[in-house]
Amino acid sequence: MADINVTPFVDVMLVLLIVFMVTAPLLTVGVPVDLPKTKAQALSQDREPLSISVKRSGAIYLQNTPIAEEDLVARLTAISANGYDQRIFVRGDKSVDYGRVMEVMGLLSAAGFTHIGLVTDVAKHKPDQD
């Protein structure tokens, strides 16, 4: 018999496909932040935006790496290959001081970044209690 049996190859490829489908959503932003809840729908995205997280302690993270406040604008400018049109999402812990999140957004705005958005979680609908 001179034919190649492709069944094991197909089995391995399907298993790899399932593994990547399960792990891909876990590879987004890994800084644990307790986001506030809203009733707004999630935005559709065409490419992955830059994400800045402000933890409860006030520490700033660019994607998954901690960064000093002084280095934030320089690092974002270096990363942004498309100029200042790069979309930046700010994720602030709900217990962090509102002023701290606004300080970070002010730094970005003063540096010329115009596409800045705040990230929230979707609130679960509570049934009416009568």
Residue-wise pLDDT for 37-62, tens only, equals 777 666 555 566 778 888 888 889 88
Chain position carrying tokens 């540096």: 111
Q: Is residue 84 part of a domain?
A: yes
Looking at residue 84, what is its pLDDT? 47
Q: Is residue 17 part of a domain?
A: no
CATH of the domain at 45: 3.30.420.270
Note whether 69 and 60 are within 8 A (CB): yes
Residue-wise pLDDT for 62-77, tens only, equals 888 888 888 888 888 7
* Average pLDDT of the chain, as a whole number: 78
Q: Is residue 9 part of a domain?
A: no
- Read off the amino acid at residue 33: V
Residue 82 has pLDDT above 60, yes or no: no
Q: What is the domain count for the chain?
A: 1
Looking at residue 95, what is its pLDDT? 86
Return the closest-CA partner of residue 61 out of 84, 86, 30.
30
Rounded Cα distance between 36 and 94, Å, is 5
- Read off the amino acid at residue 14: L
Rounded Cα distance between 130 and 127, Å, is 9
Can you give the pTM of this predicted structure? 0.57
Q: Is residue 46 part of a domain?
A: yes
Q: Is residue 36 part of a domain?
A: yes
Rounded Cα distance between 87 and 102, Å, is 17
User: What range does the domain containing 85 cover?
Assistant: 30-122
